[in-house]
Amino acid sequence: MELSPIPFPTAGPVSAADDEATRPALSVPKLTVLGAEATQLESLVQHRESVEAGTPLETALRVFRDRRVDFMAVLRDERVIGLCARGQIGFVMGSRFGFALYSQNPVETELVKNPLIVSRDTPVRELLDRAMARQNDAFREEVVLVDNEQRLLGLIPVETLAQLQSRLVAEQLDELRRQQAALLEQNLELFRTNHALRQSQGLYLGLFESHTLGVALLDVQGGIHEHNKRLAELLGFGDAQASLVSLTAWVTETDRPTFLALLEAHATNGAAATTREFVFYLPGRGARLFRCSTGWIRETGQICACLDDITDQRALERNMLRREKQMLLDTLVGGIAHELNNKLTPVQGFAELLTHENDAATARTFTNLIQQSVGEAAVIVKQLLQLAKPVAPMAQTVDLRVIIEEAMAMLRFKLRENPCEVRMALVATPVWVMAEAGQLKQVIINLILNALQAMEGCSKRVLTIEVQRRETERLAALSVTDSGCGITAENIGRIFDPFFTTKGPVHGTGLGLSICFSIVRQHGGEIAVESQPGQGTRFNITLPLEDGSRVLFGQSTEPAATTSRPANASLGKRVLVVEDEEVVRRLLQEMLRTQFGCRVDLANNGEEALNAFVKEDYALVLSDIRMSVMSGPELFLHLRELRPEISRRFIFLTGYPGDRPVEDEIAQWNVPIIPKPFSLIQLTEVCAPFLRGAPELDLTKKLEKSALF
């Protein structure tokens, strides 16, 4: 803190003109504790009165009286040699003979003993300590301030130092009080923090221990640092075991590399929280499926893993899916049985009539009707197989209109049981989409069945199905609208949730619409619903449009070829038919004999066929896929090893190949397949290249219309 300098009179000859007005007033500078150490001592100077060392005591006493000061510095050659006091000189001069004896003595003979002379660089606190430590009369002596060359800078009264010390003490007390208040606030804040920490710890421990999931804190190798009781229950270990093993010890060898890679990603990259499923092997319980949610804890450098055993949940979901599909099949089986019986009745009837008919024209009419009924029955069976096949979809370009028509054909019997007005608004030209026909058909059937159930008990029952093309958006739009009871506002947001249903457990599992949602999304489309209570419901589906360059089997509009007897190039060739159904064996033998004029040998299974190859060499082998003793694929593999040239002249026949792995394996062999039931035209087209020597490329083109998968 800077202070304005105080004007002090310099020592000189005594002048009567000097009066009290010239005496400086006592002034104490205002200091703060923080600035005390940096205070200049010159600011504490009260006056600069001084006398030369040789000044007589009489003159010095008069100066004291005139200047009204109690102390003056004593100088020699402008340098301070000591301090003289008014009281001490007055005492010497006031004795009985003192004035006469000592008045002319120099001032230096009456200097104060041990005066406090300090330099301008002396710290304020040191000056105060030295000044306040003086005893008796020395305590009241003024402090002489000099520069580094002992020249006088001024005198500092003890009152100024005392007031300064008092102020410093007061400021120190204020500072202490402020520090105490700050400390109290810090203690209070620390208490609040500790209290919040205790609450947080209690909450953490409560959540950690009572969590329904198994929770563990892991290192990058999967070592368990902390865990809750639920984890011990799930994995079946004790507290002593947890610190000795890694969580990876329970992960199966197949999933272990993936699990460790996930932990490493969290530790090195701070990967975001993720949820994966891993198979754990638990002693006494076997393999169990766990959902594992992991996240990186940056503050502790650990990985938090939350585990849940979802084995039973997955089993329940599979059961519910099977139940949903079973309910769908139960709904369709009556209609399918009805339609198949309608197709088989004319087959049986006209076949019996043929045994009594002699007119060739009438017999040909009967055979045409039989062929028509068999063909229609085969379409129904094919549609049923598309619904019942294991899910491994093969997406192809299909006409959305044809899918709808086939779905409506399968629901014909159901629509008869639940009569309603059906309005079809389909565009006139094909609407090509990339889809798996069976899955898309399942979506349409589910939506129609839901519409029929929603309209139960309604006086006006109208089912509207519309298909449009949005060329600008390259989308195919399908809508299914009913005039039923509608959906309430609280339920419309949940209808696509798995297991949510308003029908009750008797009429549904709550999976139908969720399956529809999943299938549509898998096909790159969207499904939405519009509904109000009492005003019906409208489901809108959009799918990406295709150009129609790839057409699914069964949607070709090419006219059927006519049957013609081939040339005699096949006469004398031998063909082996391997089939466990006698009627089918006889049918194939007769068809091949009449069409190609070749010799046909018959075998009941693959084992009999292998024995036949020992005796004969065959131009063509036709074999069923599913047979007892030795199946068709097994026979083909044996031939590929023993007689590779014959394996290249091989054709499969099948009504249903069975498991998807069998289909995939046969597809890799590039072997032609004739689906049952087959026509004479189909059999001729597939066999002709082998028996007539036609190029193999022609065969491939013709098989596009007859292949089963």
Give 106's DSSP letter. B
Predicted confidence at residue 504, as pLDDT, reads: 52
Q: What is the pLDDT of residue 353?
A: 63
Residues of the chain with CATH 3.30.565.10: 319-336+370-544
The per-residue pLDDT for 5 is 36
Order of all β-strands in the sheet with 286-297: 224-227, 214-218, 302-309, 286-297, 274-282
Helix (H) or strand (E) holding 652: strand 650-654
- CATH number belonging to domain 211-309: 3.30.450.20
Average pLDDT, consecutive stretches of 10 residues, N- to C-terminus, the chain (709 residues): 35 38 45 49 90 91 90 92 90 80 88 91 89 88 92 91 87 90 92 86 72 84 83 74 70 90 85 86 87 86 88 81 67 60 63 66 72 70 57 71 86 77 90 86 87 85 90 90 86 72 54 78 88 88 78 41 48 85 82 86 90 87 87 91 89 73 80 83 87 48 36
Q: What is the pLDDT of residue 441?
A: 87
Which pLDDT belongs to residue 563? 44
Residue 168: its pLDDT value, please?
86
Its CATH architecture, for the domain 319-336+370-544, is: 2-Layer Sandwich (3.30)
Q: Locate CATH 3.10.580.10 in the chain.
A: 20-168
**Cα separation, 45 vs 308, whole angstroms:** 84
Quickly tell me which residue has 């008045």 as its tokens.
Answer: 103
Residue ranges of the chain assigned to CATH 3.30.450.20: 211-309
Which residues, in sequence order, are CB contacts of 674 under 8 Å at separation 6+? 622, 651, 652, 653, 654, 682, 683, 686, 706
Supply the pLDDT for residue 379: 65
Q: List CB contacts of 561: < 8 A, sequence separation 6 or more.
A: 681, 685
Sheet hosting strand 71-76, strand order edge to edge: 50-52, 71-76, 79-85
- Which helix (DSSP H) or strand (DSSP E) does residue 305 occupy? strand 302-309
What distance in Å separates the CA atoms of residue 333 and residue 414, rounded to the nearest whole number? 10
Domain 20-168 falls under CATH 3.90.230.10: no
Ramachandran assignment for 301, one of left (phi > 0), alpha (psi -120 to 50 degrees), beta (any other):
left
Domain with CATH 3.40.50.2300 in the chain: 568-703
User: Is the entire prediction scored with pTM above 0.75?
Assistant: no
Which CATH superfamily groups domain 568-703? Response regulator (3.40.50.2300)
